[in-house]
Amino acid sequence: MRYCRECGHPVEMVIPAGDNREREVCPQCHHIEYDNPRMITGTLPLYKGKILLCKRNIEPRLGFWTLPAGFMENQETSSQGALRETLEESGSVAVCKQLFSMISIPHINQVHIFYLAELQKDDFHATEESSEVALFALDEIPWDELAFSSVSKTLKFYLEDLKKGQLEFHEDTIKINQLSAQ
């Protein structure tokens, strides 16, 4: 049972007029509750050719390494969100260079985006969200200890692009049966 955010009355699943899918609709105040995908925004932070990774100090995937990223918040742009998350998770100030990857994950209703970013200086530290923050050379990336498949994909795209000599934007999808192979 769910309740209306506007008046507290129990809602019903109904296809509203002019719509084509069921929504939570309040029979008392007629509020329609829309639930839409959320964006995760983050960076692939670079410093002198090395990549900054954060060891997660929180669930999910506590103890695994990730690129700094998190839910985009209201009132910010996607790049502002990426830099805010980078600061919150790694203590480092970065500058976004270009959008590098956008990965839809439809079974969890998320879209993950990552910017290539440059650290302003060699200055980062463990935070509430990260037990460890470190720079990794390209041949030091802990592939078996990465937290999320969107992070693995983004790092692979980056290494492949470096080999090709051209950094491009990458779009991809993660399907449910790929999760076990992350």
- In the complex, the smallest distance separating the C-beta of residue 177 from a copy of itself, rounded to whole angstroms, is 15
Exposed, middle or buried: residue 27 (CB in 10 Å: 0-12, 13-18, 19+)?
exposed
Rounded to whole angstroms, how far apart are CA atoms 164 and 111? Answer: 26
Pick 173 or 178: Cβ nearer a copy of itself: 173
Pick 83 or 141: Cβ nearer a copy of itself: 83
Instruction: Give me the phi and psi of 159, to 5 degrees please.
Output: -65, -40
C-alpha Rg value of the chain to the nearest Å: 19
Rounded to whole angstroms, how far apart are CA atoms 110 and 108? Answer: 6
Q: Which two tokens stand for residue 69?
A: 């990223």
- In the complex, the smallest distance separating the C-beta of residue 81 from a copy of itself, rounded to whole angstroms, is 8
Residues within the interface to a copy of itself (CB under 8 A): 2-10, 18, 20-21, 33-39, 58, 71-80, 88, 99, 102, 104, 106-107, 109, 111, 128, 169, 171, 173
Pick 102 or 133: Cβ nearer a copy of itself: 102
Residue 170, number of CB atoms within 10 A of its CB: 18
Pick 76 or 122: Cβ nearer a copy of itself: 76
- In the complex, the smallest distance separating the C-beta of residue 161 from a copy of itself, rounded to whole angstroms, is 14
- In the complex, the smallest distance separating the C-beta of residue 153 from a copy of itself, rounded to whole angstroms, is 14
Pick 35 or 144: Cβ nearer a copy of itself: 35
Length of the chain measured in residues: 182
- In the complex, the smallest distance separating the C-beta of residue 143 from a copy of itself, rounded to whole angstroms, is 25
3-state secondary structure of 176: helix
